[in-house]
Amino acid sequence: MLGRVTSSDGDGAVPTDPTPTFPAGVPQLDAAALDLSLLAGGPFPGEILVITGMSGAGRTMAAGVLQDHGWYVVDNIPPRLIAPLAGMMTPSGPGVTRLAVVVDVRSRQFFRTLVDSLDALEAAGIAHRVLFLDAGDDTLVRRYEQVRRPHPLQGDHGLLAGIAREREVVEPLRRRADQVIDTSSLTVHDLAREMGRFADPGRPDELVVAIQSFGFKYGVPVDANHVLDVRFLDNPYWIDELRHLTGLDEPVRRYVLGLPGAGAVIEHYTATLAIALDACARDGHPRVAIAVGCTGGKHRSVAMAEELAAHLAHLGRVRTTHRDLGRE
């Protein structure tokens, strides 16, 4: 036999009865009170971000960006579970130091306890922020029509009725939010940038440029966004004094960069990449992979990759690796 079950009354409204479903005889503990008491007595060891707002306003996209920034994200969580999760956070090391929870009307009757849960966090002195994502009704309608899914509160009364009901339910949270982002006119890239700034307000937007040398005979790196083929340069392999060395050694580097066309390729390719990388940074790409290849990945590609990295250093965080060095 199960305990009491509550559900929507069929018109899409969020039920007002917060009683959850439990097996009969199982005690219902106040999780918020239990865990918040454990956190008392010292500074809170991390950051908590509560994401809420209108369905279709971009919460899933926002959660994904936070994950990319190193946050531990839990989606569609009952508000009373925020406190137990907070109790699991650690001040440093490999544990959870930044927690983001997505709470919205999908949690049905549990959603109505969100304000109480936020009040409990404040009373316990636990720092947190509330982010509210919003969008105009016409934008929400268009997005729902594109994905062909029903609004969680529309019931039998249509999409606009569901949106109207949701606005009434979430209005207290909108007033309480630390920041409201209207996504009506934002592209996915715009929202990613906004979320990046909100997640790490002190961190500059910096593109990671990953440059990798490789040998064509071992295959082109599958994750490369740009590929530069330097096999047109004379191969140091055929010079006895250079064969046993690599592109990291100064004699090979000096030889390769002194070949006709090497300097011009670096100069012009750098200028071309600067345009592309600037566009990638504006669109919120976190990383761009550039592969530089020769026959075996030992001499020419290594020297040219290192030189290209030096020329691109001012455009972002440049990381250089040499995939096939040492395979021969």
Domain 31-199 has CATH 3.40.50.300: yes
Q: What strand order describes the sheet that includes 72-75? A: 72-75, 98-102, 47-53, 129-134, 179-182
pLDDT category at 110 given cuts 50, 70, 90 is low
Q: What 3 state SS string does 268-301 have?
A: HHHHHHHHHHHHHHHCCCCEEEEEEEECCCCCHH
CA atoms within 13 A on the CB side of 45: 18
Task: Quickly list DSSP for 47-109.
Answer: EEEEEEE-TTSSHHHHHHHHHHTT-EEEES--GGGHHHHHHT--SSTTS--EEEEE--GGGGG
Tokens of 175: 């007033």
Strand, coil or helix: what is 202?
coil
Residue 16 has pLDDT above 70, yes or no: no
Region 56-84 average pLDDT: 85
Q: Which residue has the higher pLDDT, 57 or 36?
A: 57
- Is residue 140 within 8 A of residue 56, CB to CB? The reply is yes
What are the boundaries of each domain within the chain?
31-199, 208-322
Number of neighbours of residue 232 by Cβ within 10 angstroms: 12
Q: Give CA–CA dist 73/84, Å, rounded.
A: 14
What is the C-alpha separation between 30 and 81, in angstroms, rounded? 10
pLDDT at 46 over 90: no
CA distance 46 to 134: 27
User: Is the per-residue pLDDT at 5 higher than 50?
Assistant: no
* Cα 130 to Cα 102: distance, rounded to the nearest angstrom: 10
Averaged confidence pLDDT in the chain: 81
Beta bridge partners of 107: none
Pick from 125-139, 141-155, 231-245 the range whose average pLDDT is largest: 231-245
